[in-house]
């Protein structure tokens, strides 16, 4: 039985830059690296919260899976305006807050490789409230 999302994996063009963005600017926590046989770090697991992780591997974006249907990563936040303020203070460009078609509050950022990230805040009118315990 599927119980949740374990991780989302990205190919990134510069691993150090991507880790700095997700950890230093977004405030996530590095979990563990992937080290190849030559002792070089080729990837990094990043803890998002609970049992959720991002998995980053350095590589050529041109070699990434063709026909990839990836659209965005969505990160739930507890205080959307506070998160936006903190990210802007860390020099991350963030859109303003809008209400999505699911009636949840959202704002958007992109990582250094242009991957779109939705910042998501459930509210009592969100369509997901039937499924999500607040």
- Whole-number Å distance between alpha carbons of 67 and 100: 26
* Non-local CB neighbours of 39 within 8 Å, separated by 6+ positions: none
Q: How much of the chain exceeds pLDDT 90, in percent?
A: 56
Separation CA 116–CA 94 (nearest Å): 11
In this structure, the answer to whether residues 47 and 13 fall within a common structural domain is yes
Please report whether residue 65 resides in a domain.
no
The reply to whether 77 and 121 lie within a common domain is yes
> 83 and 121, same structural domain?
yes
Q: Is residue 104 part of a domain?
A: yes
Query: Could you report the per-residue pLDDT of 3-22, keeping only the tens digit for each?
Result: 778 899 888 889 999 999 99
Q: How far apart are CA 81 and CA 87, in angstroms?
A: 10
Shared domain for 55 and 82, answered yes or no, is: no
Q: Clarify whether residues 50 and 82 are in a common domain.
A: no
Look at the chain and report how many structural domains it folds into: 2
Which residues span the domain enclosing 124? 72-129
Residue 40 maps to a domain: yes
Does 102 score more than 90 pLDDT? no
Q: What pTM, to 2 d.p., does this model score? A: 0.80
């Amino acid at each position: 039985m599927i119980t949740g999302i374990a991780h989302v994996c990205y190919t990134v063009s510069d691993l150090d830059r991507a880790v700095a963005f997700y950890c230093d600017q977004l405030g996530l926590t590095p979990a563990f690296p992937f080290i190849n046989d030559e002792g070089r770090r080729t990837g990094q697991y990043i803890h998002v919260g609970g049992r959720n992780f991002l998995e980053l591997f350095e590589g050529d974006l041109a070699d990434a899976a063709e026909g990839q249907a990836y659209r965005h990563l969505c990160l739930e936040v507890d205080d959307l305006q506070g998160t936006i303020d903190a990210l802007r203070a860390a020099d991350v460009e963030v859109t303003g807050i809008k209400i999505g078609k699911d009636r949840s509050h959202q704002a958007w950022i992109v990582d250094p490789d242009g991957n779109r990230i939705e910042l998501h805040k459930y509210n009592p009118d969100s369509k997901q409230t039937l499924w999500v315990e607040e």
